[in-house]
Amino acid sequence: MLKTPAYAAPSAKKPLTPFTIERREPAPHEVLIDILFCGVCHSDIHQARDEWGGSAFPMVPGHEIVGKVVAIGSEVKKWVVGDIVGVGCFIDSCRECGPCREGEEQYCEEGMTATYNGTERGSGRPTYGGYSTRITVDENYVLRIPDGMPLERTAPLLCAGITTYSPLRHFGVKAGDRVAVVGLGGLGHVGVKIARAMGAEVTVLSHTPGKREEALRLGADHFLATGDPQVFKENGSRFDFILDTVSARHDYNDYLGLLRHDGTMVLVGIPEPVALAAGSLVMQRRRLTGSLIGGIRETQEMLDFCAAHEVAAEVEVIPIQRINEAFDRVVSSDVRYRFVIDMDSLKES
C-alpha cells in the first residue's frame, strides 16, 4: 500500500483538513496516476456537506482529475508510463448490464462506482477522490487527454465538460438551434462554449446581473438577467433547448415557459426539489428531463471535440490549503468559473 496525502471532510459540518489515505500498487489491469490537477465541482460541496443525504465520512472529494501515469499493471494494454490521462466521476461499473454494454456506465443498473463517496466493487472499501496526490484506477475507466491541451483548464472537462456535452449531443442540438444555458457557473460556462462550438445560438440566463459582459466574452450571443420577472414574460416560447445547471432551488415552471412547442429542458443541476405544475408541460407538449455526466466513450469524444474546438474551462488555480474558502466562494457564485487545485501544493506540504 502507498501512503498518500489527501484532504478530507471529517464530517458534514467540519472543514476539510489534511488526511492520509492508502492507494494500492496497480493490479494487472490498473494504472497508478500521479494527480497534477483536480477541479472543484459543486457536487463536491453538496456531498461533503451531506446535502443529498447518505454521505460517507471521512470523505476525500474530487472527480475532475488530470494526471500522469506512473506505473501500470502487468496486463495493461491501453496506457504506458508517462501518458497524460483523466479520471472523471466513476472508476468502475458492472460492465455487463444494458447501459454498461452501451457505453453508458453512468447509468449502470448496479450503480456506477463513484470516484469518491462510493465503495469499491468486491472489496467494499470506501473510494477516495482527487483531492489527493495519486489514484489507482482500472485502465478501462481512464481517459486520454489530447496532446497540447492546457492541463489545469482541462481538468474541469472531466465532469463539467461531459455533463454539458452529453445532453447537447443526446438531444441532437445542432447549428442554428436556440439554446439557453441557465446558471453561468462551472458547468454553465463550459456548456456555453460547447453549445457555441456546435453552432447553436446561445443565451445565458443568470441571476447575477454582473455576468453579462463575461457571458458575451465566453461566446454567448445574448444574456438575460433572471432577477427581473419581466424576462419570463417577454421571452415565452423562445428556446428550442434549455440546459439548467443551477445548483440552488428555483422554479422550473418559469423556465419551461421559455421553451417553444415540443422543446426540451434538461436538468443537470441537482438542487432541492420544487413543485412542478402539469400545465407547464401539457400546454405546449414541452419535455422536462435530466442527464447524468456521460459514459467513458462519450467522455473521450467530448475531450477530442474540446481539443478540436479549443474549448477549455476558465479557471482559478488554488493550492489545496485554500479549499474551504473555495467551497464558500462557489456557494456564493463567486468563482470565475472553476477552482482547480494544483496538487503540487499537497506534495510539498
Which residues here bind ligand NAP, judged by CB under 6 A? 41-43, 46, 159-160, 163, 183-188, 206-208, 211, 245-248, 250, 268-271, 291-293, 330, 333, 335
Whose Cβ is closer to ligand NAP: residue 132's or residue 166's? 166
Binding partner of residue 192 among ligand NAP, Zn ion, none, CB under 5 to 8 Å per kind?
A: none
Task: Find the shortest distance in angstroms from Cβ 302 to Zn ion.
Answer: 14
Whose Cβ is closer to ligand NAP: residue 4's or residue 47's? 47
Kindly report the three-state secondary structure assignment for every residue of the chain: CEEEEEEEECCCCCCCEEEEEEECCCCCCEEEEEEEEEECCHHHHHHHCCCCCCCCCCECCCCCEEEEEEEECCCCCCCCCCCEEEECCEEECCCCCHHHHCCCHHHCCCCCEECCCCECCCCCCECCCCCECEEEEEHHHCEECCCCCCHHHHHHHHCHHHHHHHHHHHCCCCCCCEEEEECCCHHHHHHHHHHHHCCCEEEEEECCHHHHHHHHHCCCCEEEECCCCHHHHHCCCCEEEEEECCCCCCCHHHHHCCEEEEEEEEECCCCCCCCCCHHHHHCCCCEEEECCCCCHHHHHHHHHHHHHHCCCCCEEEECHHHHHHHHHHHHCCCCCCEEEEECHHHHHC
Task: Find the shortest distance in angstroms from Cβ 284 to Zn ion.
Answer: 32
The 269-298 contact track toward Zn ion, x by CB under 5 A, reads ------------------------------
Binding partner of residue 67 among Zn ion, ligand NAP, none, CB under 5 to 8 Å per kind?
A: none
Task: Find the shortest distance in angstroms from Cβ 251 to ligand NAP.
Answer: 10
Stretch that binds Zn ion, among 156-164, 266-274, 279-287, 317-325 (CB under 5 A): 156-164
Whose Cβ is closer to ligand NAP: residue 67's or residue 269's? 269
Whose Cβ is closer to ligand NAP: residue 163's or residue 280's? 163
